[in-house]
Amino acid sequence: MSVKQTYLIVAGLVSLLVSGHGLAAEPADLARAEEIVGGRCFLCHGMEGESASPIFPRLAGQHSEYIAKQLSEFKSGKRKSDTMKPQAEDLTPDEMKALGAFFEAKTPASRPARDPELLAVGKFIFSRGNPFSGVPACATCHGPRGLGTPQLPRLAGQHPRYTEDQLKQFNSRERNNDNAVMHTVASKLTDFERNAVAEYVATLD
């Protein structure tokens, strides 16, 4: 390859990066995100993503991509919610990404262990599943510490009530915007197992 060819390739890459069409991504507008959170989100989720009630999810430490995806699907109606749809309707994709980055940067909290025997059941189901009923281990997808991935939610430190509610909605097909695997998993969990798992993941950090 000649010096001229090398120069042209490098110049092309630089041009792409500068124009915003290459690998460089625009930084999230955290000031705009904070403005939105202070105007509406804080009422249920708190300014730090700590959540004002166990029926609302803790967002602190949640993956930014996952939050942005859920907001987009609330807006489109793919994920049903009479509460969240009007909150998301006027958000732009950039604002959704910024809100995700804002909450991901917050420090998540865990819930102190309460009933050690119940937690032992939850840990077993989470880590190993239930081979007798066909429930797979939650850790297979969400990780051994429940930290999730950009595509799969962080469960660690989540309110037990919220986790239980989502599992019930997956089971009833009330919630159907995410991985079809969750419908199968939730349908195999007993009420006791669902409660135990929810209590266990709340203690993770």
Radius of gyration of the chain (CA): 20
For 110-136, write each residue's pLDDT tens digit. 888 889 999 999 999 999 999 999 999
Residue 9 lies in a domain: no
Domain that holds residue 63: 30-104
Residue 110 lies in a domain: no
Domain CATH for 181: 1.10.760.10
Beta bridge partners of 130: 135
Does residue 81 register a pLDDT over 80?
A: yes
Q: Left (φ > 0), alpha (ψ -120 to 50) or beta: where does 134 sit?
A: left
Does residue 179 register a pLDDT over 80?
A: no
Q: Of the candidates 60, 77, 104, which is a domain's last residue?
A: 104
For 15-48, write each residue's pLDDT tens digit. 433 334 444 557 889 999 999 999 999 999 999 9
Q: How many domains does the chain have?
A: 2
Q: Of the candidates 104, 135, 166, which is a domain's last residue?
A: 104
For 142-174, write each residue's pLDDT tens digit. 999 999 999 999 999 999 999 999 999 999 999
